[in-house]
Amino acid sequence: MLKIDLSGRIALVTGASGELGSVIARTLAACGADVVLHYCRSAEKAERAAKLVEQEGRRAFLVQCDVTDFDSVCSMQKTVSDQFGKVDLLVANAVIQYEWKNILDQPLADFQSQFDSCVMQTVHLAKVFLPDMIAQGYGRIVAINTECSALAEPGVGAYTAGKRGLDGIVRCLAKEVGCHGITINQVAPGWTISERDRQNHTESAPEYDKTVPLGRRGTDQEIAQMTAFLLSDLASFTTGAYIPVSGGRVMPAI
- What is the b/e burial string over 117-149, where b = at least 16 CB atoms within 10 angstroms of the residue's CB? bbbbbbebbbebbbeebeeeebbbbbbbbbbbb
| DSSP summary character for residue 211 | T
Q: Cβ(33)–Cβ(6) under 8 Å?
A: yes
| DSSP of 45-97 | HHHHHHHHHHHTT--EEEEE--TTSHHHHHHHHHHHHHHT---SEEEE-----
Residue 39: helix, strand or coil by DSSP?
Answer: strand
List the one residue out of 139, 112, 145 whose CA is nearest residue 126: 139
What's the rounded Cα separation, in Å, for the pair 152 and 186? 17
What's the rounded Cα separation, in Å, for the pair 69 and 132? 20
Which residues are designated catalytic?
159
